[in-house]
Amino acid sequence: MSESRATWTKYSSPQAFYPLAGKLIPWFAGLAMICLAAGLYIGFLVAPTDFQQGDSYRIIFVHVPAAWMSMFLYVVMAGWAAVGLGLKARPSFMMAQAIAPTGALFTFLALFTGAFWGKPTWGAWWVWDARLTSELILLFQYAGVMLLHASIDDLRRADRASAVLALVGVVNVPIIYFSVRWWNTLHQGASVSMTAAPKMAATMLSAMGIMALGFWMYSAAVALMRVRCIILERERQASWAQIERGA
């Protein structure tokens, strides 16, 4: 790496990003644990039983945050991919690569917990309605981005190809989000809306919100943990990584 690079590229180098990520992880992890503990406390011990769904509704305290994260992380991943393509910045590609598995995990969890909510509520583990189907496609999209990256040996080509695939796939995110409005889905409409009064009791809403915040902090911590692994694996030939082994 040449010394004459502009300052901003120096700060966006993997070498500078590695220790910064390391410093941020404990904060995000700590906040995640606080939020998740508070969310579970409110969700199980404060929030009342739903008069229609009984206690099965409590599944939404993990289902809705997981579903939100599955879509949000995809957009963030595609955003890093776009920055990487635009600026040819390696750390941006690394961030995109670091986010994909966590996004896939939350997509799986949204589908899994959704099935366990659907069975007692609808009487079916799965239905091929627009919301569920488009979310399943999102899982395949995450898998596609990861597999494409893994299947190309040349890292620069792998970065660019998987970034393009991630970007093209962004069209599915608004489809998932608006599917309950555009089609007559079995899946219910949005529980939280910017424009309408909430359809849930305040304690239920706050449990869901705090859990979502916890998932958000968790995702940040885990993505940074993974990007540190990716940086070390990719830069293992560089002398700074050799020095970093003791840190």
Partner 1 sequence: MQWGSLNEFLAMGGYGAYVWPSFGATALCMIWEVLLLRRRHAAIRAALHQSAASVEVAS
| Chain positions contacting partner 1, by CB under 8 A | 44-46, 48-49, 54-56, 58-59, 62-63, 66, 101-102, 105, 108-109, 112-113, 116-117, 119-120, 218, 222, 225-226, 228-229, 232-233, 236, 241-242, 244-245
Q: Ramachandran region of residue 9, left (φ > 0), alpha (ψ -120 to 50) or beta?
A: alpha
Give min distance, CB of 98 to partner 1, in A. 10
Terminal CA-CA length for the chain? 21
CA angle 228, 68, 209 (to 5 degrees): 100
Asked if 98 contacts 166 with a C-beta cutoff of 8 angstroms, the reply is no
> Closest CB to partner 1 among 85 and 107?
107
- Torsion, Cα 161 83 15 24, to 10 degrees, reads -120
Q: Would you say 104 and 142 are in contact if contact means Cβ atoms under 8 Å apart?
A: yes
Please report how close the Cβ of residue 237 comes to partner 1 at its closest, in angstroms: 9
Question: Per residue in 107-122, is it b (16+ CB within 10 Å) or e — as a string?
Answer: bbbbbebbeebbeebe
Q: How far is the CB of 69 from partner 1 (least distance, A)?
A: 11
Q: Cβ 147 to partner 1, closest distance in Å? A: 18
Which residue, 50 or 129, is less far from partner 1 as judged by CB?
50
Q: Which is nearer to partner 1, 53 or 133 (CB)?
A: 53
- Between 45 and 171, whose beta carbon lies closer to partner 1? 45
Q: How far is the CB of 239 from partner 1 (least distance, A)?
A: 10
